[in-house]
Structure 1
Amino acid sequence: MHCFFAELELFIPVTEQNLADRVRYIMRSKIFDDAELEQLRRYAILSSNELATAGDAAPQATDQLPRVEAATDLPVMVDSDDDEMVSHELEQMRSKLEEAILETRSVPLENQPRLPRIPLSKRNRTVMRAPNPMLVTYLEASRDLCETESVLFGAAVAACRIIGAKLPMARRATKQSSAIPVWRKRIEDRIATARALIGRLTSFRSGNNRPRVVRTVRMAFSGTNISLSQPDITQKLTERIDDLKQKIAAWGKRIRRFSERSRRFNQNPHQFFHSDQKRLYKSLERPEVCGASPGPDQADTVALWRGLWSEPVNHSEGPWLEVVASQRASVMPMNLVTITPEDVAEAVRRGILDGLHHYWLKGFVVCHAVLARQFQVALNQKSLPSLFTIGITHLAPKYQ
């Protein structure tokens, strides 16, 4: 399976284990029904037989093309219940689509809601593909990439509302919240309780005989034959305090061991490196320091960056520029690039367009031709709209 996948997808790095995990996920989540799985099995057996009969002969491009098209153009089988449900909601979806597009056009990019992850199911796929005929009118009237993005984003919002997915208010989050395991919270509560008990025992050993302190000490020795009137009660208190300190140390070591193991697991090259290299290198550079020192003065920061970006500077180039110019004279100019809908379909397989994940761009197939035309115009004019050049920059002060 891995060899066959490597022939079909030359630019996707994947391991045998990853393919096996994908197969198990597809089987468990019931993405395909029995008829679709049987069709895939027949296609795989047919392809393997063709490869076996080919032997050592080099395959021709015309022989490979039908197999690839058969793999990519498998019919999507939808239950009749789903068809009835979508046809019944078609008018509702049309009104929600118009309403969502009007909403997203008036909302700035940074205030648009973050699109949630949609569960994979036939019902959701059918709902997601239903707006395609309705989008033709909006996309034909789109003048640039900004309007196309707002139309597609509105269609995604309308599909989420039909499906019932929750849309958070804020789109861009500055920090992701990490869930703390229940067992860790339980251990932290034990540590807090033990520390409070140590404080009461230490206070009683120092001569504090308040009723609340005495009651806590008696509860600490409940179930034992130790009485507060014994002559060696001071020694018993010391032993009890030392025992609690050892438990706190053991609990803290368990939490540190878990944190270290989680950090190593997240930095595993097969986990973290392939998914987000920038975040991995950033975590290896230095630990995060929050509030360790006061931030830089705002006026100084503005003055520094204004001097770097706003004030023109005349540079005196050295003789190396002539060497570069002579080397550049022998370089052949690049051929003109023509962007096709097929190029857009290939690009959106793993790409993101300002919050529109490839899941939506693959579903709204009617937008591929429009995006290809508008990207071609942007390429010819050598200009992109501000939508693709606006971002949030966080200034991280070094040292002080």
Structure 2
Amino acid sequence: MPLENRPRLPRIPLSKRNRAVVRALNPMLVTYLEASRDLCETDSILFGAALAVCRIIGAKLPMAGRATQQGSAIPAWRKMIEDRIAKARALIGTLTIFRSGNNRPRVVRTVRMAFAGTNISLSQPDITQKLTERIDDLKQKIAAWGKRIRRFSERSRRFNQNRLFQSDQKRLYKSLERPEVCGAGPGPDQADTVAFYRGLWSEPVNHSEGPWMEVVASQSASVTPMVPVTITPEDVAEVVRRAPNWKSPGLNGLHYYWLKGWKKSSRTFITFIRYRREYNATFVHPLEAMSPSPLMGIAFPFPSTGVE
């Protein structure tokens, strides 16, 4: 199943019934994983098994391709403040054109309503100063109302980000980077990606080695290379056991919870390691045709003193 067509796997309750359903898939997964031909098929098997569990237990699955975020309702007090700001701006415009000499009946009527309840008359000699004071007062009110809305918006944004960080960090990071176009559009071409990485890691390159390279080589001749690390299913099971249940590092949408439930299948964990290496190294669909050189290496311990 392509990544863009996959529904987002929900969290399921940690009940005995759900655990029993997950454990029941262990023998079935072993059969299918042993017959898988590449990493794409293996990943589809794991995701399909998780999707089957969700459907068996009756978990609600979001529709693929639809946005999962719901629009937030605007509070009534915010709408009221926005209406006040709109009316104040309109009144400022009317007072400004009256101060500039526009004496149309509609403008005069609006100005009289603005000074209703005060002892100010439009025939006073200092009416221009009173208009200026009234305009300044309205501008200060608009600034105060706008600041109140900004404080609310900033506080709501921090609150929603903190709550999303606790529940789904992956979706939070996506919203921070590209809130609207994240995950949209076609992916990179597979042939171009393979050719790009082959050009980086599979082509021989001749470097110009200076005299200092011979000095470093002679000094490090006595350094023994690190013993190759063999990753066993038990090692992976121990690492995954300490991982958060509902975190998914890659783009495949598979949580650690499902791997914990299928820990009896060693094939699952070994394939999971190989998938993560190649998937995270390319940021595209797993490619079996990639050269293994960028995915494996040996570290050599080297002294930090005595080398220029």
TM-score by length of 1: 0.46
CA offset digits 1:52-76 (Å, max 9, x no partner): xxxxxxxxxxxxxxxxxxxxxxxxx
SS of 2:282 mapped into structure 1? coil
Cα pair 1:201 1:241 within 8 Å, conserved: yes
Selected match of 2:267 from 345, 370, 379: 370
Structure 1 position 239 matched with structure 2 position 133: yes
Cα pair 1:124 1:163 within 8 Å, conserved: no
SS of 2:224 mapped into structure 1? coil
Q: Alpha-carbon deviation of 1:195?
A: 2.6
**Structure 1 residues 164 and 319: alpha-carbon distance in aligned structure 2, compared to 1, 3 A threshold:** same
- The count of residues paired between Structure 1 and Structure 2 equals 243
* 2:25 alignment counterpart: 132
The 5-angstrom pairing of residues 163-174 of structure 1 reads: 163-169=59-65
Q: Alpha-carbon deviation of 1:166?
A: 1.5
SS of 1:362 mapped into structure 2? helix
SS of 1:315 mapped into structure 2? coil
Q: Alpha-carbon deviation of 1:187?
A: 4.8
d(CA) in 2 for partners of 1:247 and 1:116?
48
Cα pair 1:339 1:375 within 8 Å, conserved: no
Q: Alpha-carbon deviation of 1:216?
A: 4.7
**Structure 1 residues 126 and 384: alpha-carbon distance in aligned structure 2, compared to 1, 3 A threshold:** closer
**Greater relative contact order: 1 or 2 (C-alpha under 8 angstroms, separation 6 or more)?**
2
Cα pair 2:12 2:59 within 8 Å, conserved: no
CA offset digits 1:144-188 (Å, max 9, x no partner): 4332211112233344453013244179x9xx9996974667655
SS of 1:356 mapped into structure 2? coil
d(CA) in 2 for partners of 1:210 and 1:160?
70
* 2:89 alignment counterpart: 195
Cα pair 1:128 1:159 within 8 Å, conserved: yes
* Residue identity matched to 2:61: A
Structure 1 position 391 matched with structure 2 position 283: yes
* Residue identity matched to 1:169: G
* 2:45 alignment counterpart: 151
**Structure 1 residues 234 and 384: alpha-carbon distance in aligned structure 2, compared to 1, 3 A threshold:** closer
CA offset digits 1:259-294 (Å, max 9, x no partner): 7878999999xx99xx89xx8xxx9xxxxxxxxxxx
Structure 1 position 357 matched with structure 2 position 249: no
RMSD: 4.9
TM-score by length of 2: 0.56
Higher helix share: 1
Q: Alpha-carbon deviation of 1:251?
A: 3.3
* 1:318 alignment counterpart: 210
Cα pair 1:341 1:372 within 8 Å, conserved: yes
Cα pair 2:42 2:271 within 8 Å, conserved: no
